[in-house]
């Protein structure tokens, strides 16, 4: 049995407090200004995220000089850096999800209610559409001809490879979100001044380095949806399912891994079952 289970059951109390599971349906949230404030924060954050990152992609493709422009490394920094900035700005208001896959993973772990999760996903997708729409308005001469920043499967890669890349990439991101916001880690490592948005943004940066050549890197269904809606290209829509299925499967795997393996949820449940007098 893990040290955590022993400590909780016999030796000493926990030096951290896990928040109670969020209710699945909480209609009371619809009466709170804080709920609608969080929706606005997710909408604006996703809008800004898509505006800056897709504009960076278009600017890179516009540059004809192979040694000029930001390059793929700069694109990865744009995505990771914006996530760092926006999570830092919105974490205390909405939790700084900015990604339906992150919201889905936190829903599975009972960190948010179903009503809040659905509201966040709608706000994120609307924000993404508006953000990419601004890019098209400001860079219209180049937007359509340079692909509009839409996610598609790159030439030479199969659909299965692209799906696998999206699953693994999202797993890395969502697992980092769980680890960076874990109350146990915050308590045990309180002497280490690690800002939660930093590892989350860095995870996005690293995943982009690996996945840009394969799919352009989705790992965020709102990002892929916004670009697909504005470019409205057949290839983008044909591949679009990958950028929902992949991230959601990756988020599910990350939630299960963190809750049942890293946080020993399975061992705790087994220990509780064995200690129950009727079993």
Condensed to tens digits (0 to 9), the pLDDT of residues 27-65 reads: 888 888 999 999 999 999 999 999 999 999 999 888 866
CATH of domain 27-261: 1.20.1080.10
Alpha helices in 12-146 (DSSP H): 33-62, 71-90, 100-108, 114-138, 140-143
Q: Are 56 and 78 in contact (CB under 8 A)?
A: yes
Lookup: tokens for 157: 């890669």
d(CA 215, CA 208): 10
Q: How confident is the model at residue 265 (pLDDT cuts 50, 70, 90)?
A: low
Q: How confident is the model at residue 7 (pLDDT cuts 50, 70, 90)?
A: very low
Lookup: tokens for 129: 């559409």
- pLDDT tens profile 229-257: 999 999 999 999 999 999 999 999 999 99
pLDDT at residue number 234: 92
Return the top range by mean pLDDT from 1-15, 111-125, 140-154.
111-125
**Residue 214: is its pLDDT beyond 70?**
yes
pLDDT at residue number 117: 96
pLDDT at residue number 30: 87
**Residue 132: is its pLDDT beyond 90?**
yes
pLDDT at residue number 5: 44
Q: What count of residues does the chain have?
A: 279
Q: What is the rounded average pLDDT for all residues in the chain?
A: 87
Q: Mean pLDDT, to the nearest integer, of 215-230?
A: 97
27 to 23, 30, 56, 95, 119: CA distances (angstroms)? 10, 6, 40, 19, 12
d(CA 225, CA 150): 8
pLDDT at residue number 63: 80
Q: Mean pLDDT, to the nearest integer, of 88-116?
A: 95
For residue 227, give the H/E element and its range: helix 221-231
- pLDDT tens profile 68-82: 678 889 999 999 999
pLDDT at residue number 270: 47
What pTM does this model have? 0.86
b/e code 166-200 from CB counts within 10 Å (16+ = b): bbbbbbbbbbbbbbbbbebbeeeeeeeeeebbebb
φ/ψ of 151, rounded to 5, equals -85, 125
- What DSSP designation does 29 have? G
Q: Nearest to residue 178, comparing CAs of 268, 76, 90, 262? A: 262
**Residue 16: is its pLDDT beyond 90?**
no
The domain locations on the chain are 27-261
Q: Mean pLDDT, to the nearest integer, of 113-132?
A: 97
pLDDT at residue number 4: 46
Within 8 A by CB and 6+ apart from 209, the residues are 72, 73, 76
């Amino acid at each position: 049995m893990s040290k955590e289970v022993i400590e909780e059951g016999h030796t000493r109390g926990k030096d951290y407090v896990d928040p109670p599971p969020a209710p699945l349906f909480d209609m009371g949230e619809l009466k709170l200004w804080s709920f609608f404030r969080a929706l606005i924060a997710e909408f604006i954050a996703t809008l800004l995220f898509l505006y800056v990152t897709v504009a960076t992609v278009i600017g890179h493709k516009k540059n004809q000089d192979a040694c000029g422009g930001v390059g793929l490394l700069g694109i990865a920094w744009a995505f990771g850096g914006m996530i760092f900035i926006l999570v830092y700005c919105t974490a205390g208001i909405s939790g700084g999800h900015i990604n339906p896959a992150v919201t889905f993973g936190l829903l599975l772990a009972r960190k948010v209610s179903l009503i809040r999760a659905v509201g966040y996903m709608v706000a994120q997708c609307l924000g993404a559409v508006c953000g990419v729409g601004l890019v098209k308005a400001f860079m219209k001469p180049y937007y359509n001809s340079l692909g509009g920043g839409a996610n598609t499967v790159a030439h030479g890669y199969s659909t299965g490879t692209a799906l696998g890349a999206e699953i693994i990439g999202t797993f890395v991101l969502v697992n980092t979100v769980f680890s960076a916001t874990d109350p146990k880690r915050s308590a045990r490592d309180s002497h280490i001044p690690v800002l939660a948005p930093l590892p989350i943004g860095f995870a996005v940066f690293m995943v982009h380095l690996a996945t840009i050549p394969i799919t352009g890197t989705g790992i965020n269904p709102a990002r892929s949806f916004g670009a697909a809606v504005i470019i409205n290209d057949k290839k983008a829509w044909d591949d679009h399912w990958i950028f929902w299925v992949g991230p959601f499967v990756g988020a599910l795997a990350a939630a299960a891994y963190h809750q049942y393996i890293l946080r020993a949820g399975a061992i705790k449940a087994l220990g509780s079952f064995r200690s129950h007098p009727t079993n």
